[in-house]
């Protein structure tokens, strides 16, 4: 058990565009965030992760950066940012920034230069290839649809973009580029930030040859992910970054890593390897995907979730560290996805929170999760803002799918589900802006909002506060080992945590039914204290038998 502040912390993610607008232009901003810091402090979070606030043409809402050392004008100024950091530190919280260095914006000065000629000193900052037989250099598709290569007439070559064509991939093979990035990171760290969340950081190393992906006969392009995820030099780059930059500061790092396995995560996060503190894995977020990926809908089988999360808990138990999340700006709202956003919204949101926050790892809360915000359904595609949604919509239409079918996928999985404005109160636009919001507010804001949640002692918000408080009171929640209970039960997710003779038992009913269980018989106990539960009148167990109400969650200290 190696103690670290970032293991004991709870992180809160802010998506600035949608958090709080201070000047009525309909776009969240830094002064808006500053005005809500007391709210976050009262919730009890320790670390704030800010999604990108850098200068950007906003093709992908700031994940396309045109200047890594400037603040997006819509969000404020560097002065506002300095004030934000100061105000966060004054409240004894920490700030981590988003580091998006797999790609830049095509409007970054490096790329503007690189495009000018093959001899330009910045040319090699990006990944250029000649075409093959008048076509793209290989058959990879971009994660947002279409080819991953964009033809550039001026120099008669293609550049690689794993995301939109306005997000050209940076060439990490080039040591000058790597140094440039390390210096930029250092510049932010010297300003006093407390770490980084690193965007698709396991994509930065690509094999020189860039082989074709395996094509599906009916598709034009194929996935190259096998070649660019966890690529040949990835550990070398992360170790270099750690040595050159991170090791000189007491900071936390979390790498976003689609396609990471527990075996790889162990390497990425174990201390001796000197790479990162933790990673965001994606396996549990893919359990409701059909064979054709995220838009192909499939109901969640609880046994899959139990198996998956348990695998991650066990794999990183002694070496490495887990990050715990159900939500972020790319994922639909968890209460709509794995819970019930109708009559049992409050119960199921609390149950899901219990399940996650009692596991071993650092928990992440995404803005609005703490009040049980839900998915949205806009009637018109015009109301959606996300580039991924629009590219998906266009491609599916071209393939002949019905609008109804396409919208069904967007309603379930679209990223804008989590990007609607934060719901602060019951006034117009949920108190987010006095102007016209850049994306529509969820119509349920009169019922689901911060003001109401603070006033109601039984709200999801107060439940989160309690969960965070418990983490500060019981070491077993942070450092205890994990073991699954009732392995094959299709509706109950139960586990225990143990540390120095202390045991925590976590019991979650994932169904809308009452369920009788004897889970407590699996642990020997003299006395049992209930630490938290989401029903006030939980059935009192007799000889280990208990009846769990719909979505009931309980945590016992044995």
Q: Point out which residues bind ligand TEU (CB under 6 A).
A: 60, 63, 100, 143, 163, 199-200, 256, 258, 294, 329-330, 388, 415
The 17-46 contact track toward Ca ion, x by CB under 5 A, reads: ----x-x-x-x-x-----------------
**Of all helices (H) and strands (E), which one includes residue 297?**
strand 293-297
Least Å from the CB of residue 32 to Ca ion: 6
Size of the residue set binding Ca ion (CB under 5 A):
5
135: β partners: 132
The answer to whether 225 contacts Ca ion (rule: CB under 5 A) is no
Q: How far apart are CA 455 and CA 440, in angstroms?
A: 25
* Alpha helices, H only, 207-344: 225-228, 234-244, 262-269, 302-315, 334-337
Least Å from the CB of residue 390 to ligand TEU: 13
Least Å from the CB of residue 200 to ligand TEU: 5
Catalytic residue among 80, 157, 169, 256: 256
21 vs 106, which CB is nearer to Ca ion?
Answer: 21
Least Å from the CB of residue 366 to Ca ion: 21
Q: What are phi and psi of 288, to 5 degrees?
A: -105, 25
Give 491's contacts (C-beta < 8 A, 6+ positions apart).
302, 509, 510, 511, 513, 515
CA atoms within 13 A on the CB side of 121: 3
Q: Which among ligand TEU, Ca ion, none contacts residue 223 (Cβ within 5 to 8 A by kind)?
A: none
Nearest to 391 by CA among 361, 415, 370: 415
**Of all helices (H) and strands (E), which one includes residue 47?**
strand 47-50
21 vs 46, which CB is nearer to Ca ion?
Answer: 21
Least Å from the CB of residue 11 to ligand TEU: 15
Helix (H) and strand (E) counts in the chain: 17, 22
Catalytic residue among 46, 80, 194, 199: 199
Q: Which among ligand TEU, Ca ion, none contacts residue 29 (Cβ within 5 to 8 A by kind)?
A: Ca ion
168 vs 480, which CB is nearer to ligand TEU?
Answer: 168
The answer to whether 275 contacts Ca ion (rule: CB under 5 A) is no
Bridge-based pairing state of the strands 529-533 and 553-557: antiparallel
Q: Hey, how many other C-beta atoms are within 10 angstroms of the C-beta on 226?
A: 13
Nearest to 140 by CA among 83, 81, 211: 211
Is 199 a known active-site residue? yes
Is 156 a known active-site residue? no
Residue at shortest CB range from ligand TEU: 63
The answer to whether 439 contacts Ca ion (rule: CB under 5 A) is no
Q: Which among ligand TEU, Ca ion, none contacts residue 200 (Cβ within 5 to 8 A by kind)?
A: ligand TEU
Q: Which residues are the active-site residues?
A: 199, 256
Residues forming the site for Ca ion (CB under 5 A) = 21, 23, 25, 27, 29
């Amino acid at each position: 058990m190696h103690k670290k502040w970032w293991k004991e912390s709870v992180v809160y993610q802010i998506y600035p565009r949608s958090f709080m607008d201070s000047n009525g232009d309909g776009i969240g901003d830094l002064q808006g965030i500053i005005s809500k810091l007391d709210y976050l402090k009262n919730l009890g979070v320790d670390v704030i992760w800010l999604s990108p606030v850098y200068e950007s043409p906003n093709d992908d809402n700031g994940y396309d950066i045109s200047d890594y050392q400037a603040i997006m004008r819509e969000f404020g100024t560097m002065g506002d940012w300095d004030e934000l950091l100061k105000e966060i530190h004054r409240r004894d919280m920490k700030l981590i920034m988003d580091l998006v260095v797999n790609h830049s914006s095509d409007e970054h000065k490096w790329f503007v230069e690189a495009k000018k000629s093959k001899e330009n000193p910045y040319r090699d900052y990006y990944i250029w290839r000649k075409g093959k037989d008048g076509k793209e250099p290989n058959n990879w598709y971009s994660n947002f649809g279409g080819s991953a290569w964009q033809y550039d007439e001026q120099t008669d070559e293609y550049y690689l973009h794993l995301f939109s064509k306005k997000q050209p991939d940076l060439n990490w093979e080039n040591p000058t580029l790597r140094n440039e990035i390390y210096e930029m990171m250092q510049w932010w760290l010297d300003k006093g930030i407390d770490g980084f969340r690193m965007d698709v950081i396991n994509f930065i190393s690509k094999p020189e040859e860039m082989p074709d992906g395996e094509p599906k006969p009916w598709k034009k392009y194929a996935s190259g992910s096998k070649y660019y995820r966890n690529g040949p030099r990835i550990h070398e780059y992360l170790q270099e970054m750690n040595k050159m930059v991170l090791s000189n500061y007491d900071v936390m790092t979390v790498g976003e890593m689609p396609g990471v396995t527990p075996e790889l995560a162990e390497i990425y996060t174990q201390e001796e390897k000197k790479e990162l503190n933790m990673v965001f894995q994606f396996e549990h977020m893919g359990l409701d995907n059909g064979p054709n990926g995220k838009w192909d809908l499939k109901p969640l089988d609880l046994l899959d979730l139990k198996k998956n999360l348990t695998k991650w808990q066990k794999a990183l138990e002694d070496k490495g560290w887990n990050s715990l999340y159900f939500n972020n700006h790319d994922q639909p709202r968890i209460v709509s996805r794995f819970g019930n956003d109708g009559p049992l919204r409050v119960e199921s949101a609390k149950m899901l929170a219990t399940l996650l926050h009692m596991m071993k790892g650092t928990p992440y809360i995404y803005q609005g999760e703490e009040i049980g915000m839900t998915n949205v359904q806009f009637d018109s595609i015009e109301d959606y803002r996300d580039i991924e949604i629009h590219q998906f919509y266009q491609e599916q239409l071209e393939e002949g799918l019905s609008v109804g079918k396409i919208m069904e996928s967007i309603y379930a999985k679209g990223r804008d589900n989590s990007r609607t404005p934060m719901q602060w109160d019951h006034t117009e636009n949920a108190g987010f802006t006095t102007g016209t919001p850049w994306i529509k507010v969820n119509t349920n804001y009169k019922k689901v909002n911060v003001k109401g949640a603070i006033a109601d002692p039984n709200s999801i918000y107060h439940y989160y506060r309690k969960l965070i408080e418990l983490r500060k009171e019981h070491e077993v929640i942070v450092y205890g080992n994990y073991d699954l209970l009732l392995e094959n039960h299709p509706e109950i997710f139960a586990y225990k945590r143990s540390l120095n003779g202390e045991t925590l038992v976590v019991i979650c009913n994932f169904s809308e039914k009452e369920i009788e269980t004897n889970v407590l018989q699996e642990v020997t106990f003299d006395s049992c204290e209930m630490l938290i539960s989401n029903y006030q009148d939980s059935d009192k167990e007799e000889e280990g038998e208990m009846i769990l109400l719909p979505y009931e969650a309980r945590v016992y200290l044995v």
